[in-house]
Amino acid sequence: MIKIALSIVLLSTLIFANEYTAEDRIKDMQELDTAMSLIQKGFMYSELSYIKEGVQGIKDNAISVEPPIKGDEKHYKKNETFSYKYTKRETARMIVHADDIIQDFENGDEKQALNTYTKMMKQCMSCHSRIREW
């Protein structure tokens, strides 16, 4: 009985997990923004723990970002919705860069860490400038 109940819970979680809403996206975006600020704070205070926390925030939230679905696109540029593949490629790049930042910083190469941070910021902006009308 418990097993059946558990499977129903699991199944409904899976079904609902597919419904990635505009609100979910905005929440993920705000978390990404907080994570970027934390990394920047890590640079300013020369504090690896902030950088690590920020990088974790990027990894945790970038992974779940999904493209807008039909009906979401009204407020995007020229009704632009971006493809699933594009979204996953951009966010995967962000995750790779995020890890590199820790690596660079641990190697004492703050300049390279900052370059990598900028690359990641470009990833954010390339998606935003593609879809934003505002």
Report the residue number, 7 or 77, with the smaller CB distance to ligand HEC. 77
CA pair distance 17, 9, nearest whole angstrom: 12
Q: How far is the CB of 61 from ligand HEC (least distance, A)?
A: 8
Q: Which of residues 22-81 bind ligand HEC (CB under 6 A)?
A: 22, 25-26, 29-30, 32-33, 36, 58, 65, 68
**b/e sequence 30-69, b meaning 16+ C-beta within 10 Å:** ebbeebbebbbebbeeeeeebbbbbbebbeebbeebbbbe
**Residues contributing to the site for ligand HEC (CB under 6 A):** 22, 25-26, 29-30, 32-33, 36, 58, 65, 68, 87, 90-91, 94, 120, 123-124, 127-128, 131
